[in-house]
Amino acid sequence: MTAELRHLRAFLAIADAGSVTSAAAMLRMSQPALSRTLRQLEDHMGARLVDRTTHRLELTTEGRHFRDKAAGAVAAVDEALDPARLRPWPLRLGHAWSAFGRHTTPLLRRWKETFPQTPLELLRVDERTAGLLSGKTDVALVRAPLLPREAEGLLGEWLCNEQRVAAVPADSELAAHTGPLNLAALVHHPIALNTVSGVTTLDLWPEELRPSPDTAVLVANTDDWLGAIAAGDAVGVSTTATAEMHPHPDVVYRPLAGAGDVPLMLVWREVPMGSGQPSHPAVPQLVRVALEVLAEDEGRTDAPRGTR
């Protein structure tokens, strides 16, 4: 049997609904027919994708990995068959937080001037791959290395390294500190961690200094991260891009010594996998424009310098 688009849609409906019965109603097909479609897909993949032994249907490990690929494939087909995308075809640039830092506006303006026929849409998607695996974006600004399963089918271009900064409440003793802070200065405070798309984990601290996980303040996005710090509930670690893109009257950013830089990359899907071809034909032009914007910024004597 050859897997078809209907098999992917059926699997995604089951994954979203949490039950075959609800998914069948949503797809307006009988439950036995949907179960047969799922079984055909599992036979084709040679793996069980859905665990039916529990009281509530759950995806297996293989099913969770396959879900992102199936969603990306369906989104690509839907986009290709959308008449509204024929002219023009927007290039969707995703980011999970802080976009391109201080280079964001120059990038958007340069693109609009150089390629007015291809709109560039900047989208914040709170995922580690900023919408690439789910098909919500064509190319993404991604910080820190991806996990092997996340990087499968993705290509990328390194742009620069961003220096880490500490984010502390404006009325704290850390904010009054002159000069850079270090990791040891933060360990006596709860650490705000973005567990969805952030790059900071407690492993950043040496084992002998590592804060207790019990004291960490877990958040799901940059807004909540800033809110926790502004309220005095925590301190945080991010990069210079966050300081540039998210100034806050109740948060002070300080350079963080000894924590290492964070790589920033432009990453895109290759379609089909192994072809080396991006999912949008304008991706190579975006890479070129991003590198040009960086090069021009480095040439300014008054510009804060990053690491290239």
- What single string gives the DSSP state of each residue in 82-119? -GGGSSS--EEEEESSSTTGGGHHHHHHHHHHH-TTS-
Question: Lowest-pLDDT range, 49-53, 82-86, 119-123, 187-191?
Answer: 82-86
Among 19-33, 74-88, 129-143, which is the least confidently predicted range? 74-88
Residues 100, 226, single domain; the answer is: no
| Domain identity same for 100 and 138 | yes
Answer whether residue 303 is part of any domain. Answer: no
Region 56-84 average pLDDT = 82
- Residues 134, 275 within the same domain: yes
| 176-to-181, 234, 241, 243, 254 alpha-carbon distances in Å | 11, 16, 22, 17, 10
Q: Which residues contact 85 (CB under 8 A, 6 or more apart)?
A: 79
Q: pLDDT tens digits, residue range 141-193? A: 999 777 777 777 889 999 999 999 999 999 999 999 888 999 999 999 999 99
Same domain, 109 and 233: no
239 and 223 part of one domain? yes
272 located within any domain? yes
Q: How confident is the model at residue 222, as a pLDDT? A: 95
CA distance 89 to 22: 35
Range with the lowest mean pLDDT among 29-43, 77-91, 177-191? 77-91
306 belongs to a structural domain: no
Please say whether the beta carbons of 261 and 154 come within 8 A: no
CA triple 13-69-278, angle to 5 deg: 135
pLDDT-based confidence at residue 134 (cuts at 50, 70, 90): confident
Overall average pLDDT of the 131-144 stretch: 91
Phi, psi of 270 (to 5 degrees): -100, 135
| pLDDT confidence bin for 252, thresholds 50/70/90 | very high
**Which neighbouring-strand residues pair with 182?**
257
The torsion region of residue 266 among left (phi > 0), alpha (psi -120 to 50) and beta comes to beta
Establish if 276 belongs to a structural domain. yes
Cα angle, residue 138 at apex, residues 196 and 288 outer, rounded to 5°: 110
Which residue has 């309220």 as its token pair?
A: 231
Determine, yes or no, domain membership for 305. no
> What is the count of structural domains for the chain?
3
Over 80: is that where the pLDDT of 284 sits? yes
- The pairing of strands 154-162 and 217-219 is unpaired
Domain housing 189: 164-260
Mean pLDDT of 55-64: 84
What pLDDT, on a 0 to 100 scale, did the predictor assign at position 83? 67
Tokens of 99: 């976009």
Residues 145 and 192 in one domain: no
Name which of 35-49, 77-91, 162-176, 289-303 the model is least confident about.
77-91
pLDDT for the residue numbered 54: 59
What CATH number is attached to the domain comprising 108?
Answer: 3.40.190.10
One domain for residues 168 and 254: yes
Q: How many helices (H) and strands (E) does the chain have?
A: 10, 13
Mark which of 37, 61, 80 sits at the end of a domain. 80
Q: Looking at residue 302, what is its pLDDT?
A: 44
pLDDT reported for residue 77: 83
Please, which residues have CB within 8 angstroms of residue 197's CB and are 6 or more apart in sequence?
Answer: 96, 97, 126, 127, 128, 130, 221
CB 141 within 8 A of CB 95: yes
The number of angstroms, rounded, from the C-alpha of 14 to the middle of its chain's C-alpha atoms is 25
Q: Is the pTM of this model over 0.75?
A: no
pLDDT tops 70 at residue 1: no
Domain of residue 29, CATH code: 1.10.10.10
Task: Return phi, psi of residue 125, to 5°.
Answer: -130, 120
Distance between CA 172 and CA 168 in Å, rounded?
7
pLDDT of residue 226: 98
* CB-based contacts of 226, cutoff 8 Å, min separation 6: 167, 246, 248, 251
The last residue of a domain, from among 80, 110, 132? 80
What's the confidence (pLDDT) of residue 303?
A: 41
pLDDT at 298 over 90: no
Shared domain for 196 and 47, answered yes or no, is: no
pLDDT for 76: 79
User: Considering the domain boundaries, does residue 214 fall inside one?
Assistant: yes
Q: Report strand pairing: 217-219 vs 192-194.
A: parallel
Q: Residue 13 is inside which H or E element, if any?
A: helix 5-17
Per DSSP, the three-state class of 271 is coil
Percent of the chain past pLDDT 90, that is, above it, reads 67
**Whether 189 contacts 232, CB under 8 Å:** no
Q: Are residues 154 and 212 in the same domain?
A: no
pLDDT, position 18: 85
The yes-or-no verdict on residue 66 having pLDDT over 70 is yes
At 114, is the pLDDT very low, low, confident or very high (cuts 50, 70, 90)? very high
User: 274 and 222 in one domain?
Assistant: no
- The whole-angstrom separation of Cα 282 and Cα 124 is 20
Mean pLDDT of 263-271: 92
Given this model, what pLDDT does residue 135 score?
Answer: 87
Q: Are 234 and 190 in contact, with CB atoms under 8 Å apart?
A: yes
* 128 and 102 within one domain: yes
Same domain, 146 and 294: yes
- pLDDT above 50 for 305: no
Residue 210, pLDDT > 70, answer: yes
